[in-house]
């Protein structure tokens, strides 16, 4: 039941070029005294396309008290690039899709015969709303050997349409699930439990923890 | 079979106000030289209500030897707040429920067609026992798309009754399970294994570990 | 099919005493400059007995090269103590059982209707071999609500026999599975991956890693 | 349906020797100022052979910007050695197999009645391609008690053929799954999320993060 057509706009195709190192480019490093940036994109290379997954850390904002809260939840960044020859991929034609925590949860809990579909409009709530549509479909392969990932992007602003397919075997899918399960607590900031759940913090917890108050489910 | 009625006491309703930032307030930060507090509540926003989950670290107590033990196990704090308009929630009407380790385990292992129900009395063992009753029900949605979380609070002290429903999709539930699974070892202090399972501690283990003694299952 | 009899030797019973704090005693702390010992026993309290689980870190030994290897794998320590009244447990009658990695794996993968049984002889390979027998049985509860943990100890050296039962609900079992899954890599030292899988170690890996050699599956 | 024959080349057999400590040898430690190397091979000892699994950290390479990327993904190293007597193993006859991330994922997701098979040619793409063939088969044991691991190596360069079998119980397999699940994020570098998902890095994230740009799925 996979009926999505794959077409390619002429305009976009002419801009294509092939980077010699056959991979995505990396932005310059910035920030003094911070741990170095590490790029950990994990790629699933197939004959017709490649799928790369990479986590994006959440952003924190400072509260007046000096405490922090999550300003933007982290996500997992998907990059799809079509093949441009044997073991070469056309990164200039790559399409991207950013998985939210809930979408990650959906992929983690997807049964071997289940499908899911996510719709993104990058301009939602803005003047160009509806002009770019992205659809990620994940469906079981007909031979039961895994799932097919398909990202379709329709961009009416530059008259471009692209649909890229990457078959993902059960083993590759299990790697994704393991990575996603590992990443989720970090994407939502729960890894900071490692700082607060320390015996050395006993005094703070005893004296200043807000949950000692009456609000703690009436000190249940 | 969802037959819980949702009613609202007049008295309580008159106290309602809407905070402009439409979110929970944060207590002031305290404690010098400690890692900053980080608020990592993860929210599931729905049309009629929002559910926020947040971990609470355990509390440790110091033993005479200088060692520590868990004084109070950590938990996961649930906040339910009803909607007060489009994308606005009435945090003054919020109801809270604190999940113990075992209740977290129950939610982690809940099958897609299973239900569970937890009863809390915040005044248990005290003079007001029985005057506030909280019930958290988690039941499969009739269309099989996930689970319905329902917190009902009956507070006879202030003549208040509240029942808040939040439908949770499979993907959202999988995120909760991932967070809960991550959090459990921290809530019970097992993360301190990261300190004791170090090769550098070899000497302590060889010389002073109590398990070298005869109590170690007869040195099995 | 639970047919184990629970009997209690007279001799052993006379030694019994009830500690006022109603809990296990803690050995004195030793070792200067080391992280403080943290006791993180997690207890499942039931009407007739209590079960406490606690991880034991592995022991490392130093090689001539200055490197380390695991000298003894960690384990999970089970303590069973019978009730001695309402919310009081008789820790002097406690029986202990030390779960190996494989036994932990068996409990992690135990299906809801499956059973398992482990036999330990603390004097195996020594002159008193066969004189103390410990059997831990884990069987599904007849009402499907969880598993029954039963530790039976027959000690012919002091003419003592004890059998303690603790029913464990599904939620409690899920907590154990979560803790055990978390603990296993630490018990086997794999947490040291956190040290070796660092980008800062690039030089060592490039220059000195033994796996650059011909032994690395012929540099596959 | 296990029909693999186990034969042993004469040439290779004459080189055999038995190390007195009956275990693998460890290479000398190198690298100043780095955390000490820790060997954490986990062994499954059986009557006819032993299987040892050990993780290998990834290798990072430095980019011009000072950032890092994964140069080579980590893997899990399997060593099979046949028995040479009671509780003695012939490490000189050991055969090795290096599991990639996807192969690890396949083993993690293998059902109790499922099989898998991996083929490695350590000389692939080189002049000796095809002269050494390694096959790892993992098949359910006929009595349903676990899986049989079988590594067959055919080395036409030294006229050697070896096939080693290790039966792995369900509990032992669960330990492997737990270790592999733990290791995968480290093998692929995702553990560096622990550095980037820190509230202290707020400024970098606000000012310099590439994802604030237009490429971030059009700032979705």
Q: pLDDT tens digits for C71-96?
A: 999 999 999 999 999 889 999 999 99
* Secondary structure (3-state) at B103: helix
As given in the structure block, the two tokens for residue D200 are 């202290």
Residue written as token pair 């000692």: A212
Continuous segment of H or E residues that includes residue D171: helix D170-187
Q: Closest partner residue to C36 among A36, A38, A199, by Cβ? A: A199
Residue A207 φ then ψ, to 5°: -95, -35
Residue A112 has pLDDT above 90, yes or no: yes
Q: What angle do CA C40, C46, C47 make, to 5 degrees?
A: 145
Type and span of the H or E element at D178 = helix D170-187
| High-pLDDT (> 90) share of chain B, % | 67
Complex confidence, ipTM: 0.84
**Mean pLDDT score, B47-74:** 94
Looking at residue A195, its pLDDT comes to: 86
Helices A170-187 and D101-108, packing angle to 10 deg = 90
Q: Is the pLDDT of residue C22 over 80?
A: no
Grouping H, G, I as helix, E, B as strand and the rest as coil, residue B119 is: strand
**Rg of chain C over all Cα atoms, to the nearest angstrom:** 21
* Alpha-carbon gap: B55 to the closest alpha carbon of chain C (Å): 15
Q: Which two tokens stand for residue C89?
A: 């447990």
What pLDDT does residue C16 have?
Answer: 33
Cα separation, C152 vs C53, whole angstroms: 17
Of the two residues A78 and B31, the one the predictor is more confident about is A78
Tell me if D60 and C202 make a contact (CB, 8 A cut-off). Answer: yes
Binned at pLDDT 50, 70 and 90, residue A198 comes out as confident
Q: Exposed/middle/buried for B112, CB within 10 Å: 0-12, 13-18, 19+?
A: middle
CA–CA dist C9, B200 (Å, integer) = 44
Which chain D residues contact residue B199 at CB under 8 A? 36, 38
Q: Among A191-200, B95-104, B108-117, D37-46, whose mean pLDDT is lowest?
A: A191-200
Query: Looking at chain B, which residue has its C-alpha nearest residue C32?
Result: B204
- Residue A26 banded pLDDT, cuts 50, 70, 90: low
Nearest CA in chain B to A209: B30
Residue C220 has pLDDT above 70, yes or no: no
Residue D38 has its nearest CB partner, among C189, C207, C217, at C189
With beta carbons under 8 A apart, name residues in chain D contacting C204. Answer: 30-31, 34
C70: nearest CB among D40, D77, D121:
D40
pLDDT score for C14: 31
Residue found by looking up tokens 């290790």 in the block = D166
Give the three-state DSSP class for C137.
strand
Among A45, A175, A190, pick the best mutation site for testing chain D contact (most D Cβ within 10 A). Answer: A175
Q: What residue of C is the nearest CA neighbor of D121?
A: C220
CA distance C172 to B105: 6
Using the structure block, give the residue that is written with the tokens 């001695």: C84
Q: Strands C38-39 and B68-72: what pairing? A: parallel
- % chain B with pLDDT above 70: 75
Whether B197 sits inside 8 A of C34 (CB atoms) is no
Q: What percent of chain D has pLDDT over 70?
A: 75
A160-169 β-sheet, strand order? A116-120, A132-140, A146-155, A160-169
pLDDT for residue C201 = 56
Assess contact for B42 and A72: CB atoms under 8 A: no
User: B178, A185: Cβ pair inside 8 Å?
Assistant: yes
Q: What is the DSSP string of A97-153?
A: EEE-HHHHHHHHT--TT--EEEEE-TTTTSTTTTSEEEEEEEEE-TTSSEEEEEEEE
Disruptive mutation site among D181, D199, D201, D202 for chain B (greatest number of B CBs within 10 Å): D199
Which of C197, C199, C200 to probe the A interface (max A CBs under 10 A)? C199
CA distance B1 to chain A (A): 26
pLDDT at B25: 54
The token pair at B75 is 């938990």
Token duo for residue D93: 């006859």
How confident is the model at residue C8, as a pLDDT?
28
Count of beta carbons in the 10 Å neighbourhood of residue C60? 27
In a domain, A23, yes or no: no
A204-216 pLDDT, tens digit per residue, is: 444 444 443 334 4
C212 three-class SS: helix
Tell me the C-alpha distance between C73 and C71, whole Å: 7
The whole-number pLDDT of residue B156 equals 97
Collect all residues of chain C within an 8 Å Cβ-Cβ radius of residue D36.
66-68
pLDDT digits (tens, 9 = 90+) for D172-195: 999 999 999 999 999 999 999 988
A34-92 tens-digit pLDDT: 678 899 999 999 999 999 999 999 999 999 988 999 999 999 999 999 999 988 999 99
Helix (H, G, I), strand (E, B) or coil at D64: coil
Could D59 and C205 be called an inter-chain contact, meaning their C-beta atoms sit closer than 8 Å? yes
Return d(Cα D139, Cα A37) in angstroms, integer.
Answer: 42
Shortest CA gap A38–chain D (Å)? 5
Question: Residue C218 and residue D175: Cβ atoms within 8 Å?
Answer: no
- Mean pLDDT taken over chain A: 82
Cβ pair C72, C66 in contact under 8 A:
no
**Residue of A80, A81, A101, A77 lying closest to A90 (CA atoms):** A81
- Chain A residues with beta carbon closer than 8 angstroms to that of C38: 199
Could you tell me which residue, B5 or D157, shows the higher pLDDT?
Answer: D157
pLDDT, residue C217, reads 64
Q: How much is the mean pLDDT over chain B? A: 82
Question: Measured between alpha carbons, how far is A115 from D59 in angstroms, rounded to an integer?
Answer: 35
Tell me how far apart the alpha carbons of residues C138 and C117 are, in angstroms, rounded to a whole number.
6
Chain B residues closer than 8 Å to A69 by CB: 26, 38-41
Contact A174 D201 (CB under 8 A): no
Spell out which residues of chain A touch residue B42, defining contact as CB-CB under 8 Å.
Answer: 73, 101, 188, 190
Measured distance CA(A85)–CA(A182) in Å, rounded: 34
pLDDT tops 50 at residue C10: no
Residues in chain C whose Cβ is within 8 Å of chain A: 36, 38, 199
- Give the CATH number of the domain where residue C105 resides: 2.30.31.10
CA–CA separation, C179 vs C42, rounded Å? 10
Rounded to the nearest angstrom, the minimum Cα separation between A192 and chain B is 7
Per-residue pLDDT, A90 = 96
Q: What is the mean pLDDT of chain C?
A: 82
pLDDT digits (tens, 9 = 90+) for D81-104: 999 998 899 999 999 999 999 999
> What is the DSSP code (8-state) at residue B192?
G
Nearest to C38 by CA among B60, A196, B57: B60
Q: Which helix (H) or strand (E) segment is B169 a member of? A: strand B160-169
- Sorted by sequence, the CB contacts under 8 Å of residue D205 that are 6+ apart come out as A57, A59, A60
Chains linked to D by 3 or more Cβ pairs within 8 Å: A, B, C
Range of the domain at B144: 38-193
At which residue do the structure tokens 């202990």 appear?
C96
pLDDT in tens, C157-204: 999 999 999 999 999 999 999 999 999 999 999 999 988 888 875 544
Q: Which two tokens stand for residue D74?
A: 């980590």
What do you get for the CA distance between the two ends of chain A, in Å? 54
Q: Between D170-187 and A170-187, two packed helices, what is the crossing angle to 10 degrees?
A: 60
- C121-140: average pLDDT: 96
Count Cβ atoms within 10 A of the Cβ of residue D132 and give its class: 0-12 exposed, 13-18 middle, 19 or more buried.
buried
Averaged pLDDT for residues A100-128 = 97
Nearest to B175 among A67, A101, A208 (CB): A101
Structure tokens at D143: 């009595």
List the beta strands (DSSP E) in chain D.
38-39, 42-45, 49-56, 59-62, 68-72, 75-85, 88-89, 95-99, 116-120, 132-140, 146-155, 160-169
- Residue C141 falls inside a structural domain: yes
Per-residue pLDDT, A42? 97
Is residue B136, in this structure, part of any structural domain at all? yes
Q: Do D175 and C69 touch (CB under 8 A)?
A: no
Chain D residues near residue A60 by CB distance under 8 angstroms: 199, 201-202, 205
- The encoded tokens of residue A144 equal 């039961």
Residue C99 bridge partners (DSSP): C76
Q: CA angle, corner B120, sides to B117 and B125, nearest 5?
A: 145
Answer whether A109 sits within 8 Å of B169, measured CB to CB. no
pLDDT at res. B214: 37
A contact test, residue of B21, B25, B34 with most A CBs within 10 A: B34
| Contacting residues of C for D40, CB less than 8 Å apart | 69-70, 188-190, 192
Distance CA C98, CA C91 (A): 17
Tell me how close the Cα of B215 comes to any Cα of chain A, in angstroms. Answer: 26
Query: What is the number of other CB atoms lying within 10 angstroms of the CB of residue D60?
Result: 26
DSSP state of C199: G
In a domain, C207, yes or no: no
**Subunit partners of chain A (3 or more CB pairs within 8 A):** B, C, D
CA–CA dist D112, D109 (Å, integer) = 9
Asked if residue A142 has pLDDT above 90, the reply is yes
Other Cβ atoms closer than 10 A to C51: 24
Residue C2 confidence class, pLDDT cut points 50, 70, 90: very low
Q: Is the pLDDT of residue A4 over 70?
A: no
Between A101-108 and B170-187, two packed helices, what is the crossing angle to 10 degrees? 90
| Of the partner residues A26, A77, A173, the one whose CB lies closest to the CB of residue D63 | A26
- A202 vs B36, B62, B121: nearest CB: B62
What's residue A87's pLDDT? 85
Question: C211 contacts in D (CB within 8 Å)?
Answer: 56, 77
Tell me, yes or no, whether A13 lies in a domain.
Answer: no
- Please indicate, yes or no, if residue B143 is contained in any of the structural domains: yes
Instruction: Find, in chain B, the residue whose alpha carbon is nearest to that of D39.
Output: B199
C interface mutation test: which of B110, B198, B214 has the most C CBs within 10 A?
Answer: B198
Q: How many domains does chain A have?
A: 1
> What is each CA distance from C157 to C126, C154, D69, in whole angstroms?
14, 9, 62
Q: Is residue B174 part of a domain?
A: yes
Res. C17: pLDDT tops 70: no
Query: Which subunits count as partners of chain B given 3+ CB pairs below 8 Å?
Result: A, C, D
In this complex, do A220 and B122 lie within 8 Å of one another by their Cβ atoms?
yes
pLDDT reported for residue B200: 75
Which has more pLDDT, B2 or A194? Answer: A194
> What is the per-residue pLDDT for D34?
66
> Which residues does residue D78 pair with via DSSP β-bridges, in sequence order?
D53, D97
Q: Which residue out of B75, B125, B196 would a mutagenesis test of the C interface target, given it has the greatest number of C Cβ atoms within 10 Å?
A: B196
How far is A65 from B33, CA to CA, in rounded Å?
A: 14
Q: Classify residue A127: in a domain, yes or no.
A: yes
For residues B124-135, average pLDDT: 96
Contact state of D29 with C209 under an 8 Å Cβ cutoff:
no
* Under 8 Å between Cβ of A52 and A67: no
Q: Phi and psi at residue D203, in whole multiples of 5°?
A: -60, -45
Question: Would the CB atoms of C109 and D171 count as touching at under 8 Å?
Answer: yes
Is C206 a residue whose pLDDT tops 50?
A: no
How many Cα neighbours within 13 Å face the side chain of D172? Answer: 18
pLDDT tens, residue by residue, C52-72? 999 999 999 999 988 999 999
Nearest to D8 by CA among D137, D149, D152: D152
Element spanning A39, H or E = strand A38-39
Q: Which two tokens stand for residue A185?
A: 């607590």
Residue B137 CB coordination number (10 Å): 18
pLDDT at B162: 96
Q: How far is CA C105 from CA B110, C110, C187, D139, in A?
A: 21, 9, 12, 19
């Amino acid at each position: 039941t996979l009926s999505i057509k794959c077409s390619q706009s002429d305009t976009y195709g002419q801009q294509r070029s092939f980077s010699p190192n056959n991979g995505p480019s990396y932005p310059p490093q910035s920030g003094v005294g911070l741990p170095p940036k590490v790029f950990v994109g994990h790629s699933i290379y197939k004959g017709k396309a490649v799928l790369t997954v990479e986590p994006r850390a959440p952003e924190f904002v400072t509260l007046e008290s000096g405490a922090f809260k999550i300003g933007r939840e982290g996500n997992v960044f998907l990059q799809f690039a079509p093949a441009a020859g044997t073991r070469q991929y056309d990164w200039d034609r790559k399409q991207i899709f950013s998985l939210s925590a809930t979408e990650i949860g959906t992929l983690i809990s997807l049964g071997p015969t289940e499908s899911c579909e996510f719709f993104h409009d990058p301009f939602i709530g803005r003047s160009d709303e509806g002009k770019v549509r992205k659809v990620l479909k994940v469906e079981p392969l007909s031979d039961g050997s895994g799932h097919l990932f398909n990202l379709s992007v329709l961009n009416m602003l530059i008259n471009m349409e692209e649909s890229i397919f990457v078959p993902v075997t059960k083993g590759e899918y299990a790697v994704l699930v393991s990575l996603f399960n590992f990443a989720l607590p970090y994407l939502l900031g729960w890894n900071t439990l490692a700082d607060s759940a320390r015996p050395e913090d006993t005094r703070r917890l005893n004296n200043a923890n807000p949950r000692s108050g009456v609000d703690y489910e009436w000190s249940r």
